Amino acid sequence: MNVPAAWYLVLAALLFGIGAFGVLTRRSALIMFMCLELMLNAVNLTFVTFSRTLSDIGGQAAVFFVMVVAAAEVTVGLGIVVSVFRRRSSTSVDELSEMKG
């Protein structure tokens, strides 16, 4: 018998937490994007786990779409990072503070 779904769910929760901590604490926009990928993967792992538990292929289809959206998001996000870097030669998100109220 396969290992219980709860193990994978707890693993996914830990992965999500690590990714969220990285997004909240790191400064570099590139590292924040990587941590965002970690969080997306945690959600994907949860989807696949529930897909197995419920014997429903819909979970895997959702993961498929999440991957597509993640690829598009990274493409556009890195384009933004590149153009911001051209303007101020830094990727630190702390320096983008013109709109601070």
Q: Centre a 10 Å sphere on the Cβ of residue 97 and count the other Cβ atoms it contains.
A: 7
CB of 99 to other proteins, least distance (A): 17
| Using rule CB under 8 A, residue 96 touches other proteins | no
Task: Answer for the pair 95, 88: CB distance below 8 angstroms, yes or no.
Answer: yes
Q: Which of 3, 88, 96, 101 binds other proteins (CB under 8 A)?
A: 3
In whole angstroms, what is the distance from residue 89 CA to residue 63 CA? 36
Under the criterion CB under 8 A, does residue 28 sit at the interface with other proteins?
yes
Write each residue from 54 to 93 as x if it is in contact with other proteins (CB under 8 A), else as -, in one continuous string: xxxxx-xx-xxx-xxxxxxxxxx-xxxxxx-xx---xxx-
Contacts of 41 (CB under 8 A, 6+ apart): 15, 19
Kindly tell me which of 74 and 101 has the beta carbon lying closer to other proteins: 74
